[in-house]
Structure 1
Amino acid sequence: MNTQTTPSPQFYLTAPATCPYLPGELERKVFTHLVGPRAAEMNDLLTQGGFRRSQNIAYRPACETCRACVSVRILTEHFLPTRSMRRVLSANSDIVSSIHTTEPSTEQFALFRRYLDSRHHDGGMSDMSALDYAVMVEDTHVNTRVIEYRLRVPGSGIDSSKRGELLAVALSDVMSDGLSMVYSFFNPEMERRSLGTFMILDHITRTRNLGLPHVYLGYWVNGSQKMGYKTRYQPQEHLTPRGWEIYEPPQDDAAETP
């Protein structure tokens, strides 16, 4: 009789640090390593339980006095784009997307640096090098993909060998119940295109085409303006102490008609 037990993940707690989202708050995180043959299975379970992945680490907030961070997932089957989202889709009809394995490129890194220098020059990732970027993309033991968004080359048709300008990139995990958007970045000079919105809408379409129910957006932070966009994609569920529950946005947030 085989009495050998399956190793269980070990969880650790970080020391308190300044919260990057809410002034005057301290953050702590609980984390574990996603390695080995069960990494993909563990990533599914932990993501469904409110964790996020960064390289081979799964983490979630464990703050002592604050519960503002809330896990969010879009219900793809019932999602309907709003009028402004349809305008975003129309404005980006000249973009083609392609999915790739986790192989970083110098072209991706150049766009990544432009994005950081413009949008997050004082953030925790601001000093990332080409090697750091390569590790962020490659260091995964789960089913991760890189999705590139490029301008369509006029007259190229379905010829994928003709590559237009790279406008945006998403690093996403393919899970048993949907896609989890790990990190994304885009050309910061093309604000009118709303490329961040476009990538989320594309993930909703991709997930629906796979017959899967959820797009995981990470954490919505109540009170943080830069996280407010995540509640625009309805219907969605938030992870509460009672489990995943439908989020009912305030009337002001729900004012735009589909």
Structure 2
Amino acid sequence: MKELPLSYDLRCAREFAMLKARVDHLFVDIDIACPYEVGTVATFHQATFAPLSERAMELFLSAGYRRNGNCLYCMSCSSCSSCIPVRLHSSTFRPNRNQKRTAARNSDVSQEILPLAPDGEELELCDHFLKKRYPGENNSATGYFRDFFLNNIVTSARVQYRIDTRLVGTSIIDIGYNWLNAVYFYFDPEESRRSLGTFNILNLVELCVEWDIEYLYLGYLINEISAMSYKANFRPNYTCVDGIWQSNS
């Protein structure tokens, strides 16, 4: 039987408090220009880690932390609180009518789960996505894989989506015993009408059900950014505010 969310979160919070006391000295605050352009300065509270136990990573995720390469971080911005950690519970999530339509629209999309190792086809798709969605930012697929996706601290994989044999999207995920972390998703911008971002989340929920995983972490919900605010459409969802997970029906 799955643990009730309240008791789960309380237990995680207690364990994380003990873990945090041991590793807090490793963390530093890094100030950069806000990557989401919500504020002027973003403060990343982060530390670099060697391999972590599956439970340790779960505790960091439950405390609202995210992964970037071998770094774990949370936002510690002095004048902004727009980045809100959000997750779904596979046992309670129910797709709405539009999400069901999206799933039907993409019934011809196949998936394959592969090790997190980039190849030419993968890099080409990621580069195409970055150039179309974030022009002028000097991003590259090679840099994203090297600095963001690849890591030595958790078990990660990629979920490829294809139409016939053509690669149209890839989801980068971290996998634990009772959690799945959605790290990043990129797709063919020419297929935007398919709403592949929504389709990807629906598919990850299905994987969680298949693998008997309860908690799907979706990163940050940012209401001011359309590319991040759509996560609120998945309900019920749970958001972490002031360290406490709240249900949103």
TM-score range, shorter chain: 0.7 to 0.9
User: Please, what is the CA RMSD of the aligned residues?
Assistant: 2.1
Matches within 5 A, 1:37-116: 38-116=52-130
Equivalent in the alignment of 2:156: 144
Q: Residues 34 and 42 of structure 1 are in contact (CA less than 8 Å); yes or no, is this contact kept in structure 2?
A: no
**Deviations for 1:182-222, whole angstroms, at most 9, x for unmatched residues?**
01100000111111111110001101111121211101123
Among 130, 153, 158, the residue aligned to 2:142:
130
Cα offset for 1:91? 1.2
CA distance in 1, matches of 2:84, 2:39: 19
Write the deviation string for residues 149-208 of structure 1: whole angstroms up to 9, x where unpaired: 1123xxxxxxxxxxx111100110112322110011000001111111111100011011
Question: When you count helix as a share of all residues, which structure comes out higher?
Answer: 2
Distance across 2 between alignment mates of 1:223 and 1:127: 23
Aligned partners of 1:204 and 1:129: how far apart in 2?
Answer: 26
Choose 9-18 or 25-34, whichever is displaced more.
9-18
Identity within the alignment, %: 25
User: Hey, what's the Cα distance between the residues in 2 that align with 1:108 and 1:242?
Assistant: 36
C-alpha separation between the residues in 2 aligned to 1:44 and 1:89?
29
Amino acid at match of 1:14: D
What CA deviation, in whole Å up to 9, does each residue of 1:49-75 have, x standing for no partner? 100011111111011122221100012
User: Equivalents in 1 of 2:144, 2:221: separation in Å?
Assistant: 26
**Secondary structure at 1:121's aligned position in 2?**
coil
Mean Cα deviation higher: 238-247 or 54-63: 238-247
Q: Which runs of 5+ in 2 are unaligned?
A: 1-18
2:35 paired with 1:20: yes
Q: CA deviation at 1:8?
A: 3.7
Q: How many residues of Structure 1 are paired with residues of Structure 2 in the alignment?
A: 229
TM-score of the superposition, structure 1-length normalised?
0.81
Look up the SS of the partner of 2:190 in the other structure: coil
Superposed, 1:195-214 pairs within 5 Å as 195-214=196-215
Structure 2 vs 1, CA of residues 65 and 41 (structure 1 numbering), >3 Å: closer, same or farther?
Answer: same
